[in-house]
Amino acid sequence: MDKQRTIKGKVSFEGIGLHSGQNSKIEILPAPINTGIIFIRQDLGSQLIKADFYSIGSAEKFPRRTSICANGIYIHTIEHLMAAFNLLKIDNAQINIWGEEVPGLDGSAKEFVQKIQKVGLEEQDAPINFLVVKEPIWVEEAQTSIVALPYDGLRMSYALKYDNPLIGTGYVDVVLDGNIKENIFEARTFCLEEEVKSLLDTGLGKGANYENTLVVSKQGVVKNKLRFPDEFVKHKVLDLIGDLYLAGPLKAHIIAVKSGHSLNIKLLEKLRRYREKTVGAGVGSHTSFVPTTNQLSSEEIMKLLPHRYPFLLVDRIIDMEKFKRAVGIKNVTMNEHFFHGHFPGRPVMPGVLIVEAMAQVGGVLMLSNEENKGKLAYFMAANNAKFRRTVVPGDQLVIEVVAGKIRSKTGIVYAKAFVDEKLAAEAELMFALVD
């Protein structure tokens, strides 16, 4: 059985974003089983964005890189870091980031891979949740295409063709098994010399230079040289490896012809629909984390609850007395997924999700005690639920939960949700505690 893996310790990186030209910093930390890859914008109040199908930014709006977003907040150019995670078979990691773009470093995944290898990896006691492709899935656009075929592992085959005489054609076929045998991670990003002005005119490439980006003229690489003859095609493979890790651990043979970020993202959209048809959606994680303070960040909440974006409806716990009382907050923004289909002309937060947010604060309260370490709190019933006012984008829900009868296997809490100190909803909630 293949086991999940995380990083053993913290590693940090700092540098200029390739497109924004702005300095940014990231810290990569270990994460519990079933967390996946999560980014936290520490410069914007600990906004959490999980790197998966549901957080992918528009390739049309953000071309020539891969972006993720949540609640109107973005993180750009994640593909080289995601490729490092995929190459090293890291299932769970927390990335604290200060800035809107992952540092570009040398334009490849080299520094990410080498620093992570130095700190080491740790096997975790849970099986890997593979997305197993059992039928052909493909996308195509003009003269580019990608197909995912059944395969017992992960294999990437990529064919490249450029009119530029130096780039020309190239082909790579590689099996990704966690043991890095190829120099793909060292392949740097590139662009044609005639593209430079148009990129800068559209606000891209502000942090690019001749060291972190191979600028290719018809005479050769400008003010630099190739690390290896097939560096161009291997960088396209690196981007593909990183982009497809937004699908999580994958079992498939990927065959790509001249694809880039835009087509990669279209394949991810098809893989998402395939997963939704074939795989159950529940998250079964729990840990032995016990809070030691009366305030919890979103990442600490995820150590107690099995919920993950987009269904984690509590941003922070701002006050807590263990087994007595907890207060959490949920910032409601226009970018919430449910607003796309729930009164889209006049968005209102669904009452059932307000109850769910209250239940999540209740779950934190139930699981914050040493006696319930490692358990799951299943929301079983809601009694006397009442909704006093609508909750709309821009509101901040302040949720107060007070413990009622708590036994070894069940518990009752009383929850109230306020907006601007006015009662919005209330309910009596029952939980079952299971190992």
Report the distance separating Cα 422 and Cα 419, nearest Å: 5
If you ran DSSP here, which 8-state letter would residue 58 be given? P
User: In angstroms, rounded to a whole number, what is the distance separating the alpha carbons of residues 42 and 51?
Assistant: 16
Q: Which of the residues 19, 76, 80, 261 is marked catalytic?
A: 261
Instruction: Outline where DSSP puts E strands in 207-353.
Output: 214-216, 250-257, 316-321, 325-331
Which is nearest to 47 in space by CA: 331, 293, 326?
331
Residues in CB range of 110: below 8 A, 6 or more apart: 185, 186
Name the residue with tokens 């159950």: 280
With beta carbons less than 8 A apart as the criterion, state whether 264 and 212 touch.
no
Q: Which residues of 178-212 are buried (b: 16+ CB within 10 A; e: fewer)?
A: eebebebbbbbbbbbeeebeebeeeebbebbeeeb
- Dihedral of the CA atoms 100, 102, 106, 107 (nearest 10)? -90
3-state DSSP assignment of residue 243: helix
Strand 23-30 to strand 11-16: parallel, antiparallel, or no bridges (unpaired)?
Answer: antiparallel
Query: Does the annotation count 235 as an active-site position?
Result: no
82: tokens are 């995601």
Which residues sit opposite 214 in a β-bridge? 190
Closest by alpha carbon to 107, among 18, 194, 216? Answer: 18
| Residue 253 annotated in active site | no
Question: Annotated active-site positions, please?
Answer: 261, 342
